[in-house]
Amino acid sequence: EHFYVLYCKFWELDSDHDFLLDRDDVVKLSNYALTYRIVDRVFSGACRTLTSQVPERLGYQDFIWLLLSEEDKTSETAIRFWFRAIDLDADGYITPHEMEFFYKEQLHRMDCLAQEVVQFEDILCQMTDMVKPAKEGYISMMDLRKCKQAAVFFNVLFNLTKFIQYDQKDPGQIFNERATPELTDWDRYAKVEYARLAQEEDQGDAVDEGEWEMEQQQQQQQGAQQ
C-alpha cells in the first residue's frame, strides 16, 4: 500500500516520465502546498544529499525522503530534514531572521488567496510560546523534539494548506487523528491516497470497458448494414 502510494505520487509529478523531478514538478506536490523557497532548499541538498547524480533533479529515492518528511513532520527523520532546510547558516539554530525569510512567501500567498493575513510578529510570538526554546531567540532541534509541535512549526513556515487547516482547526483532520491514535500522520495520508488512487483506477477501467462495448456495438451495426 505504501509503496503503491509513493510510486504513483512520483509518477503523477514526473510530467515527462524520465524518472527525474525538476522544481516545476515538485512545486505541484499536494496542489502547490509547498513554497518555492523551501523547494529550493530541497534541491540545494541542504535537507539531505541528493542521490539522483543529475544536477537540479530529484530521483525516486530523493522523492521518497521528501514525501515521507512532508506528510509526517513528527518523525525524527522529518524533524532533521526540515530543520536543516530552515537553518540557512547551518549553525544548529533557527533564528527569527531565518523564520521570517521563509514566512514572507507565506504572507504573499495568503494575500493572493484572499486569506486573512497573519503578520510575522504575531507568528513569532505564537511559535516562541509553543516551542519554548532553551535559549531565547534560538530554536534548536532538541527544542522542536521536546515541544511535540514540530509539524505545526514547519507548516506555518512553508506549507500554507496545512497552516490554514491548523489555524481553522479543520474538524475532519481532528476527527481522523482522534479516531486513529495508533496511526502516524504518514499512515493516515497513505490510507487516504491509496483509496483515492484505487477509486480512480476503477473509474478508468469502467470507462475503458464502456468504450470497448460501444466499439463492439458500432462494429455489429456496421456489419448488419453491410
Per-residue pLDDT of the chain (226 residues; tens, 9 = 90+): 899 999 999 999 999 999 999 999 999 999 999 999 999 999 999 999 999 999 999 999 999 999 999 999 999 999 999 999 999 999 999 999 999 999 999 999 999 999 889 999 999 999 999 999 999 999 999 999 999 999 999 999 999 999 998 888 767 766 677 777 788 899 999 999 999 899 888 776 554 555 556 566 666 666 556 5
DSSP letters for 126-140: HHHHHH--SBTTBB-
pTM of the predicted model as reported, rounded to 2 decimal places: 0.83
Cα distance between the two ends of the chain: 51
Residues 194, 190: Cα–Cα separation, whole Å: 6
Output the CA–CA distances (angstroms, integers) from residue 153 to 10, 138, 183, 225, in the order listed: 26, 14, 21, 70
What is the SS3 assignment for 68-109? HHHHCCCCHHHHHHHHHHHCCCCCCCECHHHHHHHHHHHHHH
Residues 124, 145: Cα–Cα separation, whole Å: 18
Burial class from Cβ neighbours inside 10 Å (0-12, 13-18, 19+) for residue 175 reads exposed
